[in-house]
């Protein structure tokens, strides 16, 4: 895949914009009190934002049945365009029943604040177990993504959406860089090839190693941590962001790295979510995407490299973004450096394997992650946060 002159094309060819104009916003607000209301949970609210800013291009709203069903079974929209994870608005029968097709529906956040509008085009039922097995590869409700599906309503509401206003992020306004702006920043820096990196964990030495390996072959790195809804035992977003800031300040060439937030929510869908994350970064303007060990995985539900193998299910160039596949990185005690089995002559006993899970376990025990695992300034930040 080659980068085009003005940057990589968004997924589906057009960067979607569903932000209400000042005139539209005024019109919607004038009708607000008389519109039926649907309250969005944290994930649905972040999905609304991602649709509106173009992060989920080519989606213009919550999926109808014609898109939902082939996405679940075949990882494609009705148009044939690849898409791996359903983006739906699920409600109870009591909420869905009075809503009328063709009417506007007011969308409120969890605090009852009016944040968007749905142009209701369809209401449909769906098979929760089928979605779980196809998307998450399990029907066990112990899986956090499956539990969300089982807990949500049995009716999907579909239709185009409008986001009333693009508010500054309450915690990270300086890092809120939407797709239009990220693409501009890439152009302004003269970057033709950009690799995106997804993470929901504090950055550790294995992350740093594969990021810098990738950075050797492209013009820039788009460090794009997810700050939407995650599991309760994941490290909080504000702590993770401080760790990324430390890395930016001390360990990365700042003229070749951009740190920005990804406001979407985690699905923990493993291989399917690796495709989803790649397409999101394509919309932000990335030409390449790092896929490491057990991307977006949880527990033992996915094989170590399943998230890499799934990219081979698509024709060459069909996704429009190039995956950069890395083996499990470790600290090699023989060579005193980060490595993989491709570069290290070490035996298994000479390898210190790293993972976000191990970081969390050490922190829960009040232990400082070793320098082979994490940069000392990052480790100190994590310990301070856990003590706090």
**Would you give the distance in Å from CA 78 to the centre of its chain?**
22
Residues 173-387, CATH architecture: 3-Layer(aba) Sandwich (3.40)
- Does residue 326 contact residue 213 with C-beta atoms inside 8 Å? yes
> Cβ atoms within 10 A of the Cβ of 6, count?
9
Catalytic residue, chosen from 200, 267, 281, 375, is: 200
Boundaries of CATH 3.40.50.620 in the chain? Answer: 173-387
Place of tokens 């985690």: 266
Coil, helix or strand for 222?
strand
Catalytic residue, chosen from 18, 106, 183, 201, is: 201
Question: How far is Cα 97 from Cα 34, in angstroms, rounded to an integer?
Answer: 17
Question: How far is Cα 202 from Cα 295, in angstroms, rounded to an integer?
Answer: 15
Query: Is 201 among the residues known to form the active site?
Result: yes
pLDDT below 50 — which residues of the chain?
1-4
Residue 105 dihedral angles phi and psi, to the nearest 5°: -120, 130
Boundaries of CATH 3.10.400.10 in the chain? Answer: 22-163
Q: Can you name the CATH fold of 22-163?
A: Sulfate adenylyltransferase (3.10.400)
Coil, helix or strand for 296?
coil
Please tell me whether the overall predicted TM-score, pTM, comes out greater than 0.85 for this model.
yes
């Amino acid at each position: 895949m080659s980068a085009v002159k003005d940057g990589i094309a968004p997924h589906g060819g057009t960067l979607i914009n569903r932000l209400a104009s000042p005139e539209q916003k005024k019109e919607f607000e004038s009708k607000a009190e008389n519109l039926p209301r649907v309250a969005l949970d944290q994930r649905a609210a972040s999905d609304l934002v991602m649709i509106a800013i173009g992060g989920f291009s080519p989606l213009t709203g919550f999926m109808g049945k014609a898109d939902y069903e082939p996405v679940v079974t075949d990882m494609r929209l009705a148009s044939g365009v690849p898409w791996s994870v359903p983006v739906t608005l699920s409600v109870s029968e009591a909420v869905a029943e009075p809503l009328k097709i063709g009417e506007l529906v007011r969308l409120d956040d969890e605090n009852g604040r009016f944040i968007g509008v749905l142009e209701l085009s369809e209401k449909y039922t769906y098979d929760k177990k089928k979605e779980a097995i196809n998307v998450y590869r399990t029907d066990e409700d112990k899986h956090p993504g499956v539990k969300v599906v089982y807990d949500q309503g049995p009716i999907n509401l579909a239709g185009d959406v409008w986001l009333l206003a693009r508010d500054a992020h309450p915690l990270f306004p300086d890092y809120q860089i939407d797709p239009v702006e990220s693409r501009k920043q890439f152009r302004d820096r003269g970057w033709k090839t950009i690799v995106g990196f997804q993470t929901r964990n504090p950055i550790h030495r294995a992350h740093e190693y594969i990021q810098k390996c990738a950075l050797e072959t492209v013009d820039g790195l788009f460090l794009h941590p997810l700050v939407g809804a995650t599991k309760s035992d994941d490290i909080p977003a504000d702590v993770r962001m401080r760790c990324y800031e430390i890395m930016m300040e001390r360990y990365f060439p700042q003229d070749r790295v951009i740190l920005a937030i990804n406001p979407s929510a985690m699905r923990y869908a493993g291989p399917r979510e690796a495709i989803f994350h790649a397409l999101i970064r394509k919309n932000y303007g990335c030409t390449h995407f790092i896929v490491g060990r057990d991307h977006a995985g949880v527990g033992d539900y996915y094989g170590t490299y399943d998230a890499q193998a799934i990219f081979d299910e698509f024709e060459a160039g069909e996704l429009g973004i190039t995956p950069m596949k890395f083996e499990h990185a470790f600290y090699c005690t023989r060579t005193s450096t980060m490595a993989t089995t491709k570069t290290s002559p070490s035996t298994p006993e000479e390898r210190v394997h790293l993972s976000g899970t191990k970081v969390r376990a050490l922190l829960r025990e009040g232990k400082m992650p070793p320098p082979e695992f994490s940069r000392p300034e990052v480790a100190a930040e994590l310990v301070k946060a856990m003590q706090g």
